[in-house]
Amino acid sequence: MGGVPSDLEIAQAAPLRPLSDVGAALGLTPDELEPFGRHAAKIELDAVGAARPSGKYVVMTAVTPTPLGEGKTTTAVGLVQGLGRIGSNATAVLRQPSLGPVFGIKGGAAGAGWSQIIPMEVLNLHLTGDFHAVTAAHNLLAAMVDNHLQHGNQLGIAPHSITWGRVLDVNDRALRNIVIGLGGRLDGVPRQARFDITAASEVMTILALATSLTDLRERLGRIVVGTDAEGRPVTAEMLKAAGAMAVLLKDAVRPNLLQTIEGQPALIHCGPFGNIATGNSSIVADHVGLSRSDIIVTEAGFGADLGYERFVNVKCRTSGFVPDAAVVVVTVRALKVHSGRFKVVAGKPLPPELLEENPDDVAAGLSNLAHHLDIVAGTGVPAVVAINAFSDDHPSEHAVIQRFAQQRGVRCAVSTHVADGGAGAVALARAVLAAVEDGTRLRFSYELDASLEDKLHAVATKVYGASGVELAPAAAKELARLTELGFGGLPVLIAKTHLSTTATPADRGAPKGWVLPVREVRLAAGAGYVYVLSGQMQTMPGLGSSPAAERVDLAEDGRVVGLF
C-alpha cells in the first residue's frame, strides 16, 4: 500500500518484545504476570505493595480540546519513548479506551504514528475484559434494585428516587431514557430508567480510586442507589449486592501490562469519563509504576480544568502521591481554533485557511494556553509546554508558543513523536527531567472541611475563571441535604462541557466574569465525591451519521482492519 501508513498498519508492523521482558523492566517476575494472549497480561496485586513508590510522577494535560484532538495520549507515549532514548527507566500509565468512542467518531486511543501502545487492536478491543466486568457489576446492582422492588421493597425505596441506571459500553442514544418493567405482574415494577456508557459508571471510578481489594469492597458497599420515603440513602450494602459486585471485579482491579511501540512498559487500567467522573487511570497502576520505574507518565482527561483538577483534588488526595511535573499539550491548530476565527466540526474537512501560515492566529488563541498554565501553577506543580507538532505546521507558529512560554518562565519543547517516535521527543524528555527537579509544593483548590458550596465556588473561580456560582433552588436544597446526611466532607466535582473553560461549549479562549450555573447535584458516595451538573451532560453518547464502526472489519487472514 502506497503513501503514509495508517496508525494500525504501523502498529501491526512493529516488532513486539516478549511480555516477560517488558515485565522484567518493571522488576516483575513471571509469577507476577497472568498472560492474556501473548501480548497483554494482568499484574498480580502482590506486586503493588512490594516496594515503596519513589519514582518521579508526571501528569499529561492539555489546553481545552477541540474536535481536532490535541494528542495527549500520543504525547504521553512519545515522552516515555523519548525518556527511554536518554536512559530513563520510564513507564506509561494510561486509561483503557472505551468501545463507544472506538466505534464512534473519535476512534481508538492507543496513540498515533510511531508513538503508540501496542498491540493497538488488543488495547482498543476488549483488552482483558475490565470494561465488561464493570458493566456486569454495575448492572447486577441495577437488577437487584428492581428485584427488591418486585419482592416487597422491605427497604422502602422510593421508585422515583432511584438514581442507579444501567450501563453499556456502546454509544446508543436510544437508551438514554427508557421505561422498564412493562408486561405482566411478573415482569417487574414499571418505572422510568436510563442507560449510561460504562465509562460513566460510578463503579468505573471506584475501580480507579480503590487502593486494594478491601478498599474496593468497602467503596462498593457505600454506593447510594436512591432513598427511602424519609429521604435516607439506600446503599448497595443494604441491598446485599456489594459482595457479588466485588467478586465480579476481583480480577479487573489488577492493572494490565502492554508496551509502547519502542518496547517500554505501559500500564493500562480503568477509563472513567472525563466530564462526569475523574477522567484518570487507576491509583493501583500508578503505585506499580512509581515503585518500579524511574519515572511514570500518566494522563488526565480533557483540559487542565477537568481531568487535571480532579487528578489533584480527588486522585492525589486519595493516593497521597504528589506529581513532580505537569505537561500541557498544545497544538498550533488548537490555538488557531481558540482564536475564535475558525469553525471546526468533527469529521468535516478543515478550513483551508486554518493550515496557512499565520502566527497572528496562533497568538490570538494564547489566552487558552495561559489559562491552563495558570491552573497548573495554582497547584504548585512545575509545568512544561509540549508542542505536538504536525507536518503542516510552520516554524514561525511554533516560535509564537515558544516565546510565550519563555515569557511565562515555563519550559517548552517542540515534539515530533508521531512522525519520529522517541527520537522526536528527546527535547521534551529533557525539559521534563529538568522540571521534575524544580520541586512541588502541592496545593489543593479547597480544604475538605470547607462547605460543599465553598468547594464548588473555589473550583469555579480558581480553576474555571468564573466570577461566581448560580445555584438552582433544587441544587441548593440538595447540597444542604447531603451535608445533613454527613457527606459535606467529600470533594466536589463539576460535570460541565469539555469544549470550553466555561459552561458554554461554543466559548473560545478563556472568558472571565461569567457565572457557573448549577442545575442539579448528585452523590457518588462509593467513589467518594459529590458532583454537580452544569449544562446538559450526555452520559450515553450517540453514533454519528458515519461511525467508525462502518470501517472496521476482518481481513481474510484474520487481521483487524479499519481501526484508527
Residue 564 covered by a domain? no
Question: Do 143 and 119 share a structural domain?
Answer: no
For residues 368 and 508, the answer to whether their CB atoms sit within 8 Å is: yes
What does the block give as the cell for 220?
462498593
Residue 147: per-residue pLDDT: 97
Cell of 199: 465509562
For residue 101, what pLDDT is reported?
Answer: 85
Looking at every residue in the chain, the average pLDDT score rounds to 93
Is 360 exposed, middle or buried, given 0-12, 13-18 or 19+ CB atoms closer than 10 A?
exposed
In the block, residue with C-alpha cell 518500579: 292
Q: Are residues 122 and 140 in the same domain?
A: no
| Backbone angle region of 388, left / alpha / beta, with phi > 0 → left and psi within -120 to 50 → alpha | beta
The pLDDT assigned to 3 comes to 64
In a domain, 442, yes or no: no
**Residue 374 and residue 355 share a domain:** yes
Amino acid at 489: G
With a cut of 80, say whether residue 19 has pLDDT above it: yes
| CATH number of residue 183's parent domain | 3.30.1510.10
Q: Which of 270, 261, 267 is nearest to 287 (CA)?
A: 267
pLDDT for residue 127? 95
The maximal CA–CA distance of the chain, rounded, in angstroms, is 71
Q: Indicate whether 418 belongs to any domain.
A: yes
Are residue 348 and residue 486 in the same domain, yes or no?
A: no
- Please check the confidence at residue 229 and state whether its pLDDT lies above 50: yes
231 domain residue, yes or no: yes
Cβ pair 57, 323 in contact under 8 A: yes
Same domain for 420 and 503, yes or no, is no
State how far the Cα of 201 lies from the Cα of 136, in Å rounded to an integer: 11
* pLDDT for res 545: 81
**Grid cell 512544561 — which residue?**
384
pLDDT tens column, 294-304: 999 999 989 99
What is the number of structural domains in the chain? 3
Q: Per the domain annotation, does 6 fall within a domain?
A: no
Residue 482 has pLDDT above 70, yes or no: yes
Residue 346's closest CA among 100, 48, 107? 107
**Shared-domain flag, residues 105 and 28:** yes
251-293 pLDDT, tens digit each: 999 999 999 999 999 999 999 988 889 999 999 999 999 999 9
- Residues 517-551 pLDDT 10s: 999 999 999 999 999 999 777 888 888 888 888 88
Q: Which residues does residue 329 pair with via DSSP β-bridges, in sequence order?
A: 62, 386
Whether residue 484 lies inside any domain: the answer is yes
Q: Are residues 258 and 306 in the same domain?
A: yes
Are the C-beta atoms of residues 540 and 175 closer than 8 Å to each other?
yes
For residue 382, pLDDT over 90 is answered with: yes
Q: Are strands 33-35 and 41-43 parallel, antiparallel or unpaired?
A: antiparallel
Per the domain annotation, does 548 fall within a domain? no
More confident call, 46 vs 422: 422
Contact assessment for residue 417 and residue 74, using Cβ atoms and an 8 Å cutoff: yes
Helix (H) or strand (E) holding 532: strand 529-533
One domain, residues 59 and 33: yes
Scored b (16 or more CB within 10 A) or e, 501-517 reads: bbbeeebbbbbeebebb
Please report the sign of the dihedral spanned by the C-alpha atoms of residue 282, residue 287, residue 293, residue 297.
Answer: positive
Residue 1: predicted pLDDT: 40
Q: Is 247 left (phi over 0), alpha (psi -120 to 50) or beta?
A: alpha
Handedness of CA 470, 472, 478, 481 (dihedral sign): positive
- Say if CB 370 and CB 312 are below 8 A apart: no
Using pLDDT thresholds of 50, 70 and 90, give the confidence band for residue 109.
confident
- For residue 381, tell me if it sits in a domain: yes
The CA distance from 372 to 376, in Å, is 6
246 pLDDT more than 60: yes
Say which residue the cell 496562533 belongs to: 362
- Given a contact cutoff of 8 angstroms between Cβ atoms, the answer to whether 373 and 353 are in contact is no
How much helix, strand and coil, in percent to the nearest 5, is found in the chain? 40, 20, 45
Q: Which domain holds residue 211?
A: 130-246
List pLDDT tens digits, range 53-102: 889 999 999 999 987 788 999 999 999 999 999 999 999 999 999 998 88
* Cell of residue 517, nine digits: 450555573
pLDDT at 526: 97
Residue-level pLDDT at 82: 98
Does residue 429 share a domain with residue 323? yes
What counts of helices (H) and strands (E) characterise the chain?
20, 25
Q: Supply the pLDDT for residue 203.
A: 98
pLDDT in tens, 396-446: 999 999 999 999 999 999 999 999 999 999 999 999 999 999 998 999 999
Together in a domain, 215 and 361 = no
> What three-state secondary structure class fits 522?
strand
SS3 state of residue 1: coil
Residue 52 has pLDDT above 90, yes or no: no
Q: Identify the residue with better confidence: 548 or 213.
A: 213
Cα three-residue angle 374-379-383, rounded to 5 degrees: 60
**Which tens digit of pLDDT belongs to each residue from 333-351?**
999 999 988 888 776 788 8
Burial class of 54 by CB neighbour count within 10 A (0 to 12, 13 to 18, 19+): exposed
What's the pTM value of the predicted model, to 2 decimals? 0.95
The three-state secondary structure class of 362 is helix
Residue 372 has pLDDT above 70, yes or no: yes
pLDDT of 361 above 90? yes
